[in-house]
Structure 1
Amino acid sequence: MSSSANAEHVASYYAATANPAPERHALAGDIECEVCVVGAGFTGISSALHLAEQGHEVVVLEAARVGFGASGRNGGQIVNSYSRDMDVIEAKYGTETARALGDMAFEGNRIIRERIRQYALACDLKNGNLFAACNRKQLEGLREHKSLWERFGNRELELLEGEACQREVGSERYTGALVDHSGGHLHPLNLVLGQAAAFESLGGVIHEQSPVTGVRHGETVTLTTPRGSVRARRVVMAGNAYLQGVLPELEGKSMPCGTQIVTTEPLPDALRRELIPNDMAVEDCNYLLDYYRFTADGRLLYGGGVNYGGQDPTDISAVIRPKMLKTFPQLADVRIDYAWSGNFLMTLNRLPQFGRLNANVYYAQGYSGHGVTCSHLAGRLIAEVMRGDSERFDAFAGLPHLPFPGGRLLRVPLSALGAWYYATRDRLGW
């Protein structure tokens, strides 16, 4: 969450094309509720909606606007699994943990699609995403990736090599690709806005412009805001990269990271068919990856790069445009209409952090770039915990939450050094 007073959405393509949504009043005065959710992004709204469907009385506190953070700024790609896949999980944490997390690896995707159908959410859903290999080593990695995901139940995968890949992406950069036909892409801000409206239709309450400034733990938890307070029997902390200063006990175990996105002017139909003929979302296999797709109105949305610590570059277009032109040199004369950045939260082991601070305070965060799907899974698991079924939540909560080497002072330079090493390996094809 951000603590900025009266913060509005950044000037992104998503904000410019968002569906109408009301401005929710800031919390004024002292109230009580059964469950208070802190943060109105995907994690918070998914949790709130699942809980409201179970009949809980839920209040959501949001420091800015619904979807203000990563949930309303990301690439809009529905990517399955986690930032570290099941083979890594199995090697580090054992077969039982890998099986438990693997059984949930594709569930966030299904939840998103269930929500869209159930509540008729208008969010420009399209099917299919593609992982593009920049060299032979990455292509072999995709071959292994396909076998791994098929082992855990995804049967909608297709490996492409050579010309077959170039028929899907009109770029000379790639040697092959893995298509996940079960994936997809959408307008993320409209997805979270639609779910917020669904939550309110069930009696839920959202207070925007209500940053949490203090938390007092106890049998009843008290959350203070600039103009009021909430006393709740249970609390869900769901601010992710925008929760800085509220939960200092977690901050050393995660790090905000910035990523940048641009969106072009609308492109002609013929050019779009040349670039991505089947309108899938694409991401490459580099450590510092590029990702792109077409919007509903025919713009190329292109993102990439990571700023450790979450600082914004001075000129976002100057950072992203060269990446876009390396992939698609035919766009040299195309205008950039929107450019923005936002923060996601990265963990040291690149796995999400779910857990409890006390018996009645839960948290879910740190998706490390895979938040669109995993945040929706988090909401379902939090609702399961609150009805007394903690097995699946605890499969995540049992993962170690590791501090970054060097603490808050050195985590940024050390992470940047590690990223430089892996980016160099990508360029050399190691």
Structure 2
Amino acid sequence: MTRSSEFQYPPSYYAASAKPAPESLSLDGEIRCDVCIVGAGYTGLSTAIHLLERGLDVVVLEQARVGWGASGRNGGQIVNSYSRDIDAIESSAGQSVADVLGPLAFEGGRIIRDLVARYNIDCDLKQGGIFAAFNKKQMAELEHQKALWERYGYDRLELLDSSAIGREVATERYVGGLLDHGSGHIHPLNLALGEAAAVRQLGGHIYEHSQVQSVNRNPNGQGGAEVLTEHGRVQARTLVLAGNAYLGGLVSELSAKSMPCGTQVVATEPLSDEQARALIPKDYCVEDCNYLLDYYRLSADKRLLYGGGVVYGARDPADIERLIRPKLLKTFPQLEGVKIDYCWTGNFLMTLSRLPQVGTLGDNIFYSQGCSGHGVTYTHLAGRLLCEKILGESAGFDAFASLKHYPFPGGHRFQAPLSAMGAWYYSMKDRLGL
């Protein structure tokens, strides 16, 4: 089979430092299974592990490599809750839905840690993360967030005043912050590769370089689904669509109310032990509170990984370093002259509400998508919820499925420019502290 360079790992720091993976195996021929999963990112891998642990026969199809999309390119931060917080769910969906989804907002990180421990996954897991506030308004929002999360039973948060955050991050930009002791960070591609190894250990099958070309629902009136690749066919009783921003137009219903967006990350050359300790002494990850936020952390080999910004419509910028270096130096001017060794971009899928889209197509096709830039923890939760729904235990899945989603204004042609205009508006409010 032809393996286009388009579907090889992009030249990121994560790809360069990834653990060895088994030789890629493509689907060739026909296979039957209980559940076929499209996409070998976190959603698909978490779903596969949960199903396999419950005794089902699972096949995963991936157009590229395990973790090739957002799962292997993201900022690597384990951040609790959703891209819109629980109070947004209270307002839009009502208290009864929030009562189900609120406690689940903290499950994704626990699932990650459980998988890392249970399957001995080496992914540089570190504990703790900071939300950093630029002004009093953002600090008040963090105080509200702390009270909100505590109302839903989460008690791992610590407010930081200006002097306290100054001890945690070597920058003068912040007036305070919120330390989440239950947050953390990982090497995201190694997490995905470790989860893929767990899938294989449990008896599941992963076929890479096996792009799905079509899906036949209820073939021959026999129920189930038929999934076709260039050289293979999967007959499954149940199908899970877990491609997120890389699902493309495979299923038209799933592209109407979402938009792929790109974000950029750079990795510096390795810093000295002294430099690294001075920047972030306790090795926390950090994200700021702006609408278009910056996020950063230290890698295991003491590089500063710094990301930020959004490209609506998922175009790849021509010069990522030119976009990110000024942000990095504004936060850490002491790194003037530091060399950037890696620059990369990746896509995530955004919804208008910035809450995930979850649901069913017919009786036997299930999907979860649209993490809206907050996917490391949510995708792992989604895997458990998809498993539960397939097995008839559906309270969490059904609560997510009840959330209403609407198309972006302007249709496919104008959704990216109109969203960029909206982001500019909120960015101006951030700058002005409004």
Regarding TM over 0.5, the answer is yes
Matched, 1:277 2:277: no
Match of 1:383 in 2: 387
Match of 1:190 in 2: 190
Match of 2:91 in 1: 91
Match of 2:328 in 1: 324
**How many angstroms does 1:256 deviate by?**
0.4
**How many angstroms does 1:162 deviate by?**
1.3
AA of the residue aligned to 1:238: A
Matched, 1:425 2:429: yes
Unmatched runs of 5 consecutive residues or more in structure 2: none
* Corresponding residue SS for 1:267: coil
AA of the residue aligned to 1:418: G
**How many angstroms does 1:220 deviate by?**
2.3
Match of 1:226 in 2: 230
Instruction: Report the Cα distance in structure 1 between the residues aligned to 2:70 and 2:193, rounded to whole angstroms.
Output: 13
- TM-score norm. by structure 1 comes to 0.98
Q: CA RMSD in A?
A: 1.0
* Equivalent of residue 371 in structure 1, options 375, 390, 402: 375
**How many angstroms does 1:6 deviate by?**
6.6
Matched, 1:298 2:302: yes
Deviations 1:242-279 (A, max 9, x none): 00110111112000000000000111122112211111
TM-aligned CA distance change 1:172 to 1:409, over 3 Å: same
Deviations 1:138-192 (A, max 9, x none): 0111111111111111111111111111111111111100000010001011111
* Corresponding residue SS for 1:312: coil
Match of 1:104 in 2: 104
**How many angstroms does 1:92 deviate by?**
1.4
Match of 2:160 in 1: 160
AA of the residue aligned to 2:317: P
Instruction: Report the Cα distance in structure 1 between the residues aligned to 2:376 and 2:274, rounded to whole angstroms.
Output: 30
Instruction: Report the Cα distance in structure 2 between the residues aligned to 1:249 and 1:133, rounded to whole angstroms.
Output: 38
Match of 1:127 in 2: 127
The count of corresponding residues between Structure 1 and Structure 2 is 428
Instruction: Report the Cα distance in structure 2 between the residues aligned to 1:19 and 1:88, rounded to whole angstroms.
Output: 39
Instruction: Report the Cα distance in structure 1 between the residues aligned to 2:202 and 2:184, rounded to whole angstroms.
Output: 28
Instruction: Report the Cα distance in structure 2 between the residues aligned to 1:56 and 1:184, rounded to whole angstroms.
Output: 32
Instruction: Report the Cα distance in structure 1 between the residues aligned to 2:96 and 2:4, rounded to whole angstroms.
Output: 43
5 Å matches for 1:209-220? 209-218=209-218, 219-220=223-224
Deviations 1:281-312 (A, max 9, x none): 00000000000000000000000010000001
5 Å matches for 1:133-144? 133-144=133-144
Match of 1:313 in 2: 317
Match of 2:169 in 1: 169
Matched, 1:404 2:408: yes
Unmatched runs of 5 consecutive residues or more in structure 1: none
Match of 2:69 in 1: 69
* Equivalent of residue 344 in structure 1, options 342, 345, 348: 348
Instruction: Report the Cα distance in structure 1 between the residues aligned to 2:275 and 2:135, rounded to whole angstroms.
Output: 26
* Contact map agreement 1:5 1:209 (CA 8 A) in 2: no
Match of 1:82 in 2: 82
**How many angstroms does 1:17 deviate by?**
0.7
* Corresponding residue SS for 1:377: helix
Instruction: Report the Cα distance in structure 2 between the residues aligned to 1:138 and 1:300, rounded to whole angstroms.
Output: 25
Deviations 1:327-385 (A, max 9, x none): 00111111001100000000000000110011100001100111000000000011111
TM-aligned CA distance change 1:328 to 1:5, over 3 Å: closer
- TM-score norm. by structure 2 comes to 0.97
Match of 1:150 in 2: 150
AA of the residue aligned to 2:170: G
* Corresponding residue SS for 2:429: helix
**How many angstroms does 1:91 deviate by?**
1.2
* Contact map agreement 1:5 1:64 (CA 8 A) in 2: no
Instruction: Report the Cα distance in structure 2 between the residues aligned to 1:198 and 1:404, rounded to whole angstroms.
Output: 38
Instruction: Report the Cα distance in structure 1 between the residues aligned to 2:340 and 2:430, rounded to whole angstroms.
Output: 28
AA of the residue aligned to 2:11: A
**How many angstroms does 1:4 deviate by?**
5.7
Which runs of structure 1 show a deviation greater than 4 angstroms over 4 or more consecutive aligned residues?
3-6
- Identity among equivalent pairs (%): 61
**How many angstroms does 1:402 deviate by?**
1.4
* Corresponding residue SS for 1:262: strand
